[in-house]
């Protein structure tokens, strides 16, 4: 008789964990001062992500709705694009050194763990999450530590620094610098500063991974900023990478939170040159 293992995988467990620990919408709205309710918080999150005001990551309910709406899809999309591009190189490095600019809840750390768990090696890596919103820190560390507890061969040291990445800051050089869904929140100068910083903080011959929303005007602007920094080769870019996240969301949750289970992402995977071009 064939035995089928129905044990949920780490991604399914992650969704269950988020539902169990981060679903309670409560307290006062920072804008109105009135008690919140779920539909109002979902509407606020939805509209702000569609250009109706700035994202409000300092609000605990905004962050919770963000987790339900985007965490799983962003993580799966990041997994998929890395699998299609650089995984064979990075899976050779047992002690990866990785940073995410605007990593928020830790999408990129979760994606790397989800990928590396399928490899034979033992991984022990440092993941620096750099975000100006300090209140992501406990959520990031909770999610990454919980997820790594479900995986045997991957240990992560999840460090967090509250930093505005458009400013100057010191750091070491990394194997991967993620620039995830943040360039859309910046103007031209901000995009240039962040990408220049990403270039400086990447080891020669290693990688910068940019992900963002797939609107044509935004893709054009990001592509221009990437091209203006002549320090890397574009290994692969896809303007619209649409995929189902592959995880089943309960129907009522999906509808009530407008959860993104199928989502388009634009991405660029860049490999930094071995030797920097010196201008004459």
Ligand X SMILES: C[S@@+](CC[C@H](N)C(=O)[O-])C[C@H]1O[C@@H](n2cnc3c(N)ncnc32)[C@H](O)[C@@H]1O
Among residues 11 and 153, whose Cβ is nearest to ligand X? 11
Alpha-carbon distance of 280 to 278, in angstroms, equals 6
By CB under 6 A, name the binding residues for ligand X.
57, 70, 74, 102-104, 107, 131-133, 136, 164-166, 180-182, 185
Among residues 148 and 265, whose Cβ is nearest to ligand X? 265
In 3-state terms the chain splits into helix, strand, coil percentages (rounded to 5) of 40, 25, 35
Q: Comparing C-alpha atoms, which of 133, 159, 208, 153 is closest to residue 10? A: 153
Least distance from ligand X to the Cβ atom of residue 218, Å: 13
- For residue 214, what are the contacts with CB-CB under 8 A and spacing of at least 6? 239, 240, 241, 264, 265, 266
Least distance from ligand X to the Cβ atom of residue 16, Å: 19
Task: Measure Cα distances from 91 to 60, 85, 124, 202, 223 in Å.
Answer: 35, 12, 11, 17, 28
Among residues 102 and 158, whose Cβ is nearest to ligand X? 102
Among residues 92 and 172, whose Cβ is nearest to ligand X? 172
Among residues 166 and 225, whose Cβ is nearest to ligand X? 166
- For residue 146, what are the contacts with CB-CB under 8 A and spacing of at least 6? 14, 17
Least distance from ligand X to the Cβ atom of residue 201, Å: 14
Crossing angle of helices 10-22/72-83, nearest 10°?
160
Least distance from ligand X to the Cβ atom of residue 87, Å: 19
Least distance from ligand X to the Cβ atom of residue 209, Å: 11
- Output the residue with the shortest Cβ distance to ligand X: 102
């Amino acid at each position: 008789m064939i035995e089928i293992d129905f044990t949920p995988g780490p991604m399914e467990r992650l969704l269950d964990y988020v539902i169990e620990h981060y679903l309670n919408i409560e307290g006062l709205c920072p804008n109105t001062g009135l008690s919140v309710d779920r539909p109002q918080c979902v509407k606020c999150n939805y509209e702000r992500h569609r250009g109706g005001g700035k994202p409000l990551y300092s609000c605990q309910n905004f962050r919770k709705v963000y987790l339900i709406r985007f965490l799983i899809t962003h993580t799966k999309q990041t997994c998929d694009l890395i699998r299609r591009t650089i995984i064979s190189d990075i899976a050779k490095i047992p002690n990866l050194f990785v940073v995410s600019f605007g990593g928020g809840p830790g999408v990129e750390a979760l994606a790397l763990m989800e990928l590396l768990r399928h490899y034979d090696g033992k991984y022990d890596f440092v993941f620096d999450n750099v975000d100006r919103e300090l209140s992501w820190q406990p959520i990031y560390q909770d999610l990454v530590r919980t997820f790594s507890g479900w995986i045997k061969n991957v240990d992560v040291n999840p460090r967090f620094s509250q930093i505005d990445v458009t400013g100057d800051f010191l750091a070491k050089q990394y194997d991967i610098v993620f620039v995830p869904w943040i360039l859309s929140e910046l103007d031209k100068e901000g995009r240039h500063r962040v990408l220049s910083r990403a270039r400086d903080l990447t080891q020669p011959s290693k990688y910068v991974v940019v992900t963002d929303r797939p609107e044509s005007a935004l893709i054009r602007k990001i592509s221009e900023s990437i091209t203006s920094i002549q320090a890397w080769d574009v290994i692969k870019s896809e303007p619209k990478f649409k995929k189902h996240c592959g995880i089943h969301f309960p129907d009522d949750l999906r509808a009530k939170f407008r959860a993104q289970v199928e989502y388009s992402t634009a991405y660029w995977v860049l490999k930094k040159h071995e030797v920097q071009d010196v201008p004459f």
